[in-house]
Amino acid sequence: MSILPMTIKRHQYPRIIIALLAMSLIIAACGNSTTATTSSNTPTTITFWSWVPNVQAEVTLYEKAHPNVHVNVVNAGQGAAQYTKLTTALKAGQGAPDVVQIEYPYLPQFILSGKLADLSQYGANSVKDQFVPWTWSQASQNGKVYAIPQDSGPMGFIYRNDLLAKYNLPIPQTWDQFAQEAKTFHQDDPSASLTQFSANDPNWFFSLLWQAGSQPFQVSGTTVTLHIDDAAALKVADYWGNLINSKAITVGTDFTNDWYTALSNGTYASWVTAAWGPGFLSGVAKNTSGKWRAAQMPQWTAGASASANWGGSTDAVTTQSKNPQAATDFAIWLNTNKEATAAFVQQQSLFPTTTATLSDPVITNATSTFFGGQQVNKLYGQTSAQINTSFQWSPFTDYVYSQWINDFGKAINGSTSYEQAMHKLQTDVTSYATSQGFTVK
Amino acid sequence: MQRSLTPSNVPRPPSRSAQKTTFLHLKRASTPYLFILPFYLLFICFIIVPLFYAGSISLYADRLVGGTVFVGLQNYTQVLHDANFWSGIQHMLLLGVIQIPVMLGLALLFALLMNTGTTALRSLFRLGFFLPYAIPSVVAALIWGYLYGPSFGLFTQIFHLLHLPALNLLAPQWVLTSIGNIITWQYTGYNMIIIYAALQSISPELIESAQVDGATGLRIALLIKIPLVMPALLLTGIFSIIGTLQLFNEPQILSTLAPTVIGDHYTPSLYAYNAAFSNQQFNYSAAISFMLALVAFICSAIFMFIASRRRNTNE
């Protein structure tokens, strides 16, 4: 055998350079993984997914108080858009953040996936008593805590004072009154309507079911009881179906450009919405500032005072986090610290979940220019106490919601009745739950 | 190569120069493979491996309760009986039957016009027709979504200006036409370029001899040019069929504006996407994707069969 020459020929230089480059890239990529730390004295970086506008302000407060921790804030989309990414990252085993914002209806499915860390081992139960009880119970199961409540969304009724006064319409106290006023309003002004039925917002619709006393889901471990078409739900579906069919209100989509424009130019005179609604409106419908007022939700029975919750989120820690203690500390601080929670209320108009903030006179007595000087926080504080606390969410909210859009959409298009839509939803969800291994009662 | 003084039928160990030749020979023979290696690496990484992954997970069912279970072809039989899947296929076939001939007809017309028209504005028209293809289809769907907006979209505003009752272009009976409009606008230019290139390759002598025989422009186009660009038309036809069956971007973007019309299963691709990311049914989603591929394969095969039969009867 011949001995190969040991000197490197010039024509081999490019190959060697490419090999060296490739090796250095691989080493750089491998060396980028974060190292796990448990001590809070070593610099720690945690990633926080949140869509709260300008949450960096509160995060900066935290970083000032904890110089060794850097929080990387990422807006991965709002609601469903973020959950898609979160589900994918959790399934892939990498890419999920340390702390993530999750709304109450979606907590059960993430808890069931086993990918949320149990925060009770990191000291979460020490702050349990600071929170409104129903928010804590929706974020925990059997003594294990899976998320820290951030904000909630007690529902009320906000309306354009000037438009209702123009047609001499009083504030509707009951849903019957609301329906009549909707018809009168549309007759007086055919180009506008009292409100919009948002066909793309099942979250809102299920909150209406919540207010009516419906109990669509009851979950106990892997046994679910489904009554999506119970009497209260059918009542709500029929009510809105009749209102849509009478053409007194328009069917549309919320949180789209069309809808923002409509709210700005007075095409819609009211919005059945949660406590974060006003803050949101002041951003998209600035020119209507001062013309809105807030009141209690219309009731099913005269003189009652039932409310529901729409929206609001918690902050959870994923099992992919390499710094679960630091992540838990951050989540707890963000949602219990006096300065941070006050900032959430005053700057982002989030409705607080800590009893201390709820009873803080600075918060409750604050007046809102958007609402012509009304003390909206006080009103929403009152409605918050009227929320039925026994309502539960299913562990497959995504599926229920996308099916609702399909089934209710068919009813809106006239192919089925609204009651049939709810029955079909019940059937679809039952077969889905069975196929996923749940015991369905 | 050095001449050897030993008889050629005696086997001898390879000399140093023969080794070098084998090495050079190998190097020369392997060079083309090294050139196509980068493509094949990426192809295997991003097409073949995911294909096998999807194929393997389609044989399982990952339940929220109870974990992963081997179910064989159960997912596929479920897709076969799934009304949502078949209604999606139906929508796409309906769309394709009308939109593809319209789009290819327009592409052919524009290509012929450019081929025989004046040279002055040719580059301008070529750029103009092709420009919509350069716009990312998500951006295009967003723009058209605004235009189609039922309350404040541009078309609605025009209707109001003309005192006509506003047509809801996203209503169930119009939404397929609206989507077809977006696709036609976007891809006519692309198909036109392909057909135009085929037209350019027609020998000018053929055209000249036809003109000498007294044929006018229209007859030349119909009887000479179109038959000669048939292969290009077949190519664009197959691409369009496969593309239409896999339609995703436009319905996905428009579903936020018209959720009651475009639910979660308006097209099979949309159904597969929502099954995976909304309903957590990744295995079922994989089965839907393979069934869609099968339907696309069958449609393409039928199209090719019809095309080749027509070609055979013409010759």
Q: Which amino acid is at A104?
A: Y
CA atoms within 13 A on the CB side of B45: 6
pLDDT digit string, tens, across residues A97-108: 999 999 999 999
Give the residue from chain A lying closest to B273, CA to CA: A84
- CA of A4 vs chain B CAs: smallest distance (Å): 11
Q: Which residues of A touch B152 (CB under 8 A)?
A: 257-258, 261-262
- CA of B145 vs chain A CAs: smallest distance (Å): 10
Q: Which residues of B touch A406 (CB under 8 A)?
A: 263-265
Lowest-confidence segment of A23-32, A35-44, A76-85, A155-164 by average pLDDT? A23-32
Residue A156 pairs in a beta bridge with A273
Q: Which residues of A touch B256 (CB under 8 A)?
A: 200, 253, 256
Contacts of B247 (CB under 8 A, 6+ apart): B92, B95, B179, B183, B267, B269
Measured at the alpha carbon of residue A208, what is the angle toward residues A210 and A404, in degrees to the nearest 5? 100
How far apart CA A108 and CA A216 sit, in angstroms, is 14
Q: Which amino acid is at A23?
A: M
Measured at the alpha carbon of residue A192, what is the angle toward residues A191 and A195, in degrees to the nearest 5? 155
Contacts of A260 (CB under 8 A, 6+ apart): A284, A285
Confidence of residue A28 (pLDDT cuts 50, 70, 90): very low
Q: Which residues of A touch B66 (CB under 8 A)?
A: 437
Partner-chain residue, chosen from A262, A410, A437, that has the shortest CB–CB distance to B66: A437
- CA of A325 vs chain B CAs: smallest distance (Å): 28
Contacts of B17 (CB under 8 A, 6+ apart): B1, B2
pLDDT surpassing 80 at residue A41? no
Q: Which residues of B touch A93 (CB under 8 A)?
A: none
pLDDT surpassing 50 at residue A2? no
**Mutation for B interface: A405, A416, A425, most B CBs within 10 A:** A405
How far apart CA A49 and CA A53 sit, in angstroms, is 12
Q: Which residues of A touch B261 (CB under 8 A)?
A: 409, 413
pLDDT surpassing 50 at residue A36? no
pLDDT surpassing 70 at residue A12? no
Q: Which residues of B touch A405 (CB under 8 A)?
A: 259-260, 263-264
What are the helix (H) ranges across B13-167? 16-43, 49-57, 74-80, 83-116, 122-134, 137-148, 154-161
How far apart CA A329 and CA A338 sit, in angstroms, is 15
Nearest Cα residue to A98 out of A31, A37, A32, A30: A37
The region that residue A414 occupies, defined by phi over 0 for left and psi between -120 and 50 for alpha, beta otherwise, is: left
pLDDT surpassing 50 at residue A30? no
Q: Residue window 48-67, chain B: list those with CB within 8 Å of chain A.
A: 63-66
Confidence of residue A33 (pLDDT cuts 50, 70, 90): very low
Question: What ipTM was assigned to the predicted interfaces of this complex?
Answer: 0.76
How far apart CA A98 and CA A319 sit, in angstroms, is 8
Q: Which residues of A touch B149 (CB under 8 A)?
A: 257-258
The residue written with tokens 């739950």 in the block is A433
Whether residues B16 and A2 touch (CB distance < 8 A) is answered with yes
**Mutation for A interface: B71, B152, B271, B274, most A CBs within 10 A:** B152
From the CB of residue B93, how many other CB atoms can be counted at a distance below 10 Å?
15
Q: Which residues of B touch A2 (CB under 8 A)?
A: 16, 19
How far apart CA A147 and CA A117 sit, in angstroms, is 8
pLDDT digit string, tens, across residues A292-308: 999 999 999 998 889 99
Whether residues A109 and B172 touch (CB distance < 8 A) is answered with no
How far apart CA A354 and CA A149 sit, in angstroms, is 8
Give the residue from chain A lying closest to B149, CA to CA: A258
- CA of B263 vs chain A CAs: smallest distance (Å): 5
How far apart CA A183 and CA A197 sit, in angstroms, is 14
Angle between helices B282-314 and B49-57 (to 10 degrees): 120
Give the residue from chain A lying closest to B75, CA to CA: A435
The residue written with tokens 């299963």 in the block is B265
Given the DSSP bridges, would you call strands A99-103 and A44-49 parallel, antiparallel or unpaired? parallel
pLDDT digit string, tens, across residues B12-22: 666 666 677 77
Q: Which residues of A touch B64 (CB under 8 A)?
A: 109, 112-113, 395-396, 436-438
**Secondary structure element (H or E) that encloses residue B69, with its range:** strand B67-70
Whether residues A408 and B265 touch (CB distance < 8 A) is answered with no
Inter-CA distances, A172 with A206, A272, A303, B131, Å: 21, 12, 12, 54
Q: Which amino acid is at A426?
A: Q
Across A76-90, A235-249, A371-385, the highest mean pLDDT is recorded for: A235-249
Give the residue from chain B lying closest to A267, CA to CA: B151
How far apart CA A372 and CA A162 sit, in angstroms, is 11
Whether residues A253 and B257 touch (CB distance < 8 A) is answered with yes
Mean pLDDT score of chain A: 88
Interface of A with B (CB under 8 A): 2, 80, 84, 87-88, 91, 109, 112-113, 199-200, 222, 251-253, 256-258, 261-262, 267, 395-396, 398-399, 402-403, 405-406, 408-410, 412-413, 432, 435-438
In percent, the amount of chain B with pLDDT more than 70 equals 92
pLDDT surpassing 90 at residue B77? yes
- Per-residue confidence (pLDDT) for residue B17, from 0 to 100: 66
Measured at the alpha carbon of residue B208, what is the angle toward residues B203 and B209, in degrees to the nearest 5? 100
- Per-residue confidence (pLDDT) for residue B3, from 0 to 100: 56
In percent, the amount of chain A with pLDDT more than 70 equals 91
The region that residue B72 occupies, defined by phi over 0 for left and psi between -120 and 50 for alpha, beta otherwise, is: left
Average pLDDT over residues A131-142: 88
Inter-CA distances, A305 with A267, A302, B119, Å: 28, 9, 77
Contact in structure between B230 and B222 (CB atoms under 8 Å): no
Q: Which residues of B touch A413 (CB under 8 A)?
A: 172, 260-261
Partner-chain residue, chosen from B146, B260, B282, that has the shortest CB–CB distance to A413: B260
Partner-chain residue, chosen from A222, A261, A406, that has the shortest CB–CB distance to B264: A406
The region that residue B67 occupies, defined by phi over 0 for left and psi between -120 and 50 for alpha, beta otherwise, is: left
pLDDT surpassing 80 at residue A38? no
Whether residues B151 and A399 touch (CB distance < 8 A) is answered with no
Lowest-confidence segment of A34-48, A93-107, A265-279, B207-221 by average pLDDT? A34-48
How big is the A-B interface in CB pairs under 8 Å? 88
Q: Which residues of A touch B279 (CB under 8 A)?
A: 396, 398-399, 402, 432
Contacts of A170 (CB under 8 A, 6+ apart): A164, A181
Q: Classify residue B201 by its DSSP letter.
A: T
Contact in structure between B137 and B253 (CB atoms under 8 Å): no
Mean pLDDT score of chain B: 88
Partner-chain residue, chosen from A109, A253, A395, that has the shortest CB–CB distance to B259: A253
Lowest-confidence segment of A55-64, B86-95, B169-178 by average pLDDT? B169-178
How far apart CA A202 and CA B50 sit, in angstroms, is 34
Whether residues A436 and B152 touch (CB distance < 8 A) is answered with no
Determine whether A428 is exposed, middle or buried from the number of CB atoms within 10 Å of its CB (0-12, 13-18, 19+).
middle
Whether residues B63 and A396 touch (CB distance < 8 A) is answered with no
Provide the greatest CA pair distance for chain A.
Answer: 106
Whether residues A262 and B263 touch (CB distance < 8 A) is answered with no
Q: Classify residue B10 by its DSSP letter.
A: S
How far apart CA A278 and CA A280 sit, in angstroms, is 5
Inter-CA distances, A139 with A111, A144, A207, B214, Å: 9, 9, 18, 85
- CA of B205 vs chain A CAs: smallest distance (Å): 50
Average pLDDT over residues B277-287: 90
Partner-chain residue, chosen from A251, A261, A436, that has the shortest CB–CB distance to B64: A436
From the CB of residue A164, how many other CB atoms can be counted at a distance below 10 Å?
19
Whether residues B278 and A412 touch (CB distance < 8 A) is answered with no
The residue written with tokens 């006023």 in the block is A181
Inter-CA distances, A237 with A202, A271, A420, A422, Å: 12, 18, 10, 8
Nearest Cα residue to A109 out of A84, A142, A129: A84
